[in-house]
Amino acid sequence: MRVVILGSGRGSNAEAILLAQREGRLGGARVAAIFSDVAGSGILSLGPRFGVPAEYVDPAPFRTKLDGEGEARFIAAVSGAQPDLVVLAGFMRVLKAGFLGAFAGRIVNLHPSLLPSFPGLDAIGQAWRRGVRVTGCTVHYVTADVDGGPIIDQAAVRVEPGESRESLEAKIHAAEHALLPAVIARLSAGAPGA
């Protein structure tokens, strides 16, 4: 299974996927390419480290969504890598109909909450401010509903009394780094429900 990773930031979840691949924990999946909408983002530095093509793709003209010319450039770049699965690992743009249609049923996202709770931006902060005792992370299929697609799997994280936002964030990231590669491995094996 050919996997393409899209990300906007430092790439810690992409790195977890690539480490799982190196250690033989990604099943039949192989990362074919990494693309970022942010020039110089940390995720792009993972390409040379892991021997995977990594490229900046200009997302213009919009700032928060992938549409118009930027969307067309991303569709062309991702299509060129012939993905069986497109993984959004910290990709901070809303996908529109063109991209969703080009890769229908093959796009998954990692979100740092137990959806449907705390969708959207700053999910960890939302959960921390609300004072929940359990939060976590979710891998789900991407649809036109932001953070609303079918859930594939989730990992729960306990919020301890008096826990700082920073320590909660670290625990959720650790859960993400375990969950996302495991889900990709299961998808590569054709696991039912995944």
Which residues, including other chains, have CB under 8 Å from residue 117's CB and lie 6 or more apart? 127, 132, 135
Residue 30 C-beta-side C-alpha neighbours within 13 Å: 7
Rounded to whole angstroms, the Cα distance separating 175 from 153 reads: 12
Spatial contact of 34 and 21, defined as CB atoms under 8 Å apart: no
Active-site residue list: 111
The strand ranges marked E within 40-84 are: 54-56, 65-66
Residue 147 token pair: 């953070």
Kindly provide the b/e burial profile for residues 14-39, where b requires at least 16 CB atoms within 10 angstroms of the residue's own CB: bbbbbebbeeebbbebebbbbbbbbe
